[in-house]
Structure 1
């Protein structure tokens, strides 16, 4: 089974949709100036409505690590996704405080040595565009579990999993219709991921 994170949830009612489809992880964006950016009040309401069994990760871009630690300590988020130029020192600081970390890197950096729990491969910051999956090194060479992102949809997710063999997939715009989370798309994406196995 490949695990799936559904990201970019920005409405409180998105938590209800997540509860219905049960992804392995959900994400909200704290980085400013994005269409799906949430404020603290909305983030709290989403976490309150989201099933306890679904970990909620906050997406940050070159932001204050102390804020991340506070949000984690308060139970608002269960992990962080670093989408900027954060240093390995910052990753190590988060990990020392037991915060799970997703480090976003270019596809060519799939073999990067890091203290992060996962490396998320994305061609550019939340572009919603695919890249040539053939450039990803085979699973046998990888040291850190991979999350695959970028332009994944109900039409290409199975092929992406078969080719890249990621431990996780991360989907945002591919779970939407006209910019809003769509229950049917979310359900299909979770079903596809959970039926596919990242082979050794």
Structure 2
């Protein structure tokens, strides 16, 4: 049986129903601390969400998504939010990641999946980022009309066929984000097996997290795991 990947439900906001945390497949939650994002929460609001989540699931890992800022500023905001991981989404320089790790945070680096015609150079870029991060999150490029600084959460999938070609060379922990839904998650997992998947808009209804959609996603992931067992 293939391992069902970790699942991060990202972009939580005050008032969201956290009852989905009873499902052990949900290993991570994410809060977005990017002022230009419609899912933006302040460090204090993030802290309230994180504390509420950890009361339900003390083992859940909390991730703060940031874009821009100096290492010291980001670390202070992350401390106020009470998160375990900082996800860099704005092409921050290497020293920001280094300072965050020195401050005791795990660091993820989001990278737009775009190998183009030179997969070797793209892999070199990923390895360079991975040397100062605990995981790489592969996401779709933002659309042309995206708000400046909002580099994720657009509900767009990238070229999963291209990911199939690149995946065997990925020797670090990597996650996939972008346009993942209950309806297509099995297609993704049939092609590649990342460490985890990161979902936001794919489990929303009316712009807010929907417990029923999250449960449908989990059911699809678990069904994929059982299919793997029957085939092997």
Q: TM over 0.5: same fold?
A: yes
SS of the aligned residue for 2:22 comes to helix
Greater CA drift, 152-161 or 93-102: 93-102
Query: What is the correspondence of 1:31-180 to structure 2 with a 5 Å cutoff?
Result: 31-51=34-54, 52-73=58-79, 76-107=82-113, 108=115, 109=122, 112-113=126-127, 114=130, 115-124=132-141, 125-126=151-152, 127-136=154-163, 137-180=165-208
Please report the RMSD computed on the Cα atoms of aligned residues, expressed in angstroms.
Answer: 2.2
What are the superposed Cα offsets for residues 119-151 of structure 1, whole Å, 9 maximum, x if unpaired?
Answer: 111112222111111112444311211110110
Instruction: Decide whether the 8 Å contact of 1:110 with 1:146 is kept in 2.
Output: no
CA distance in 1, matches of 2:87, 2:51: 20
Q: Which runs of 5+ in 1 are unaligned?
A: none
Q: Corresponding residue for 1:2? A: 5
CA distance in 2, matches of 1:64, 1:55: 23
Please report how far the alpha carbon of residue 73 of structure 1 lies from its aligned counterpart in structure 2 after TM superposition. 4.4
Preserved CA contact (<8 Å) 2:45 2:81: no
Q: Which has the larger radius of gyration?
A: 2
Shift of 1:74: 5.4
Which residue in 2 is equivalent to 1:183? 211
**Cα displacement string for residues 14-55 of structure 1 (whole angstroms, at most 9, x for unaligned residues):** 4x2343334110000001121110123321211121122111
C-alpha separation between the residues in 1 aligned to 2:60 and 2:105? 16
**C-alpha distance in 2 between matches for 1:63 and 1:188:** 36
TM-score normalised by length of structure 1: 0.88
Distance 1:94 1:196 in 2: 36
Unaligned runs of 5+ in 2: 116-121, 142-150
